[in-house]
Structure 1
Amino acid sequence: MLAGGAARRLGGADKPGVRVGGRALLDRVLTACAGARTTVVVAGPRPTVRPVIWSREEPPGGGPLAALAAGLRHTTADRVVLLSADLPFLDHRTVRGLLAPLGHGATADGVLLTDADGRDQPLVAAYRTASLRRELAVLTGRHRDLAGLPLRRLTGSLDLTRIPGPVASFDCDTWDDIATARARIREHGHVLDEWISAVKDELGIDLDVDTGVLLDLARDAAHGVARPAAPLTTFLVGYAAAHAGGGPEAVAEAARKATALALRWADEDTPDATAPAPPAGTAPETRPDAG
Structure 2
Amino acid sequence: MQSSVIVLAGGTSRRFGADKTSQPFGTSTVLGHLVDSVPRGWPVVVVGVPTPLPREVVWTRETPPGGGPLAAMTAGFSLVTTDLAVVVAGDMPFGGRVCQLLADELDAEPDVDAVAARRGAAHSNPLLAAYRVAAARLALPADCTNLPARLLLTALRHLELLVDDDAALGVDTPEALAQARRRLRA
Does structure 2 conserve the Cα–Cα contact (< 8 Å) formed by 1:108 and 1:160?
Answer: yes
Which of residues 73, 76, 91 is equivalent to 1:71? Answer: 76
Please report how far the alpha carbon of residue 105 of structure 1 lies from its aligned counterpart in structure 2 after TM superposition.
Answer: 5.8
Between Structure 1 and Structure 2, the one with more strand by share is 2
Distance 1:167 1:105, change over 3 A: closer
Uncovered stretches (5+) of structure 2, i.e. residues with no partner? 1-6
Query: Please, what is the CA RMSD of the aligned residues?
Result: 1.5
Uncovered stretches (5+) of structure 1, i.e. residues with no partner? 188-291
Matched, 1:7 2:5: no
Please report how far the alpha carbon of residue 130 of structure 1 lies from its aligned counterpart in structure 2 after TM superposition.
Answer: 1.0
Query: Which is bigger in relative contact order (C-alpha 8 A, separation at least 6)?
Result: 2
Moved more, 171-180 or 70-79: 70-79
Q: How many pairs are equivalent?
A: 179
Aligned mates of 2:155, 2:50 — CA distance in 1: 32
Q: Which has the larger radius of gyration?
A: 1
Specify the SS of the correspondent of 2:62. coil
Instruction: Encode CA deviations 1:144-187: one digit per residue, 9 max, x unaligned.
Output: x3111111122112111111112201111000101111122222
Query: In the alignment, residue 128 of structure 2 is paired with which amino acid?
Result: V
Which of residues 113, 129, 154 is equivalent to 2:133? Answer: 129
Residue equivalent to 1:40: 45
Does structure 2 conserve the Cα–Cα contact (< 8 Å) formed by 1:118 and 1:164?
Answer: no
Distance 1:64 1:107, change over 3 A: same
Residue equivalent to 2:160: 162
State the identity %: 37
Does structure 2 conserve the Cα–Cα contact (< 8 Å) formed by 1:42 and 1:70?
Answer: yes
Please report how far the alpha carbon of residue 38 of structure 1 lies from its aligned counterpart in structure 2 after TM superposition.
Answer: 1.6
Q: Write the mapping of 1:138-287 to structure 2, written as runs, cut at 5 A.
A: 139-140=141-142, 145-165=143-163, 166-187=165-186
Aligned mates of 2:132, 2:41 — CA distance in 1: 15
Specify the SS of the correspondent of 1:10. coil
Does structure 2 conserve the Cα–Cα contact (< 8 Å) formed by 1:115 and 1:170?
Answer: no
Specify the SS of the correspondent of 1:40. strand
Aligned mates of 2:127, 2:137 — CA distance in 1: 16
Matched, 1:17 2:22: yes
Does structure 2 conserve the Cα–Cα contact (< 8 Å) formed by 1:78 and 1:129?
Answer: yes
Aligned mates of 2:78, 2:93 — CA distance in 1: 27
**TM-score relative to the length of structure 2:** 0.90
Does structure 1 conserve the Cα–Cα contact (< 8 Å) formed by 2:103 and 2:130?
Answer: yes
Residue equivalent to 1:235: none
Q: Write the mapping of 1:46-65 to structure 2, written as runs, cut at 5 A.
A: 46-65=51-70
Aligned mates of 1:40, 1:124 — CA distance in 2: 15
Specify the SS of the correspondent of 2:93. coil
Query: In the alignment, residue 2 of structure 1 is paired with which amino acid?
Result: L
**TM-score relative to the length of structure 1:** 0.59
Aligned mates of 1:45, 1:130 — CA distance in 2: 27
Aligned mates of 1:83, 1:66 — CA distance in 2: 14
Instruction: Encode CA deviations 1:25-61: one digit per residue, 9 max, x unaligned.
Output: 1111112214243211000111111111000111100
Specify the SS of the correspondent of 2:9. coil
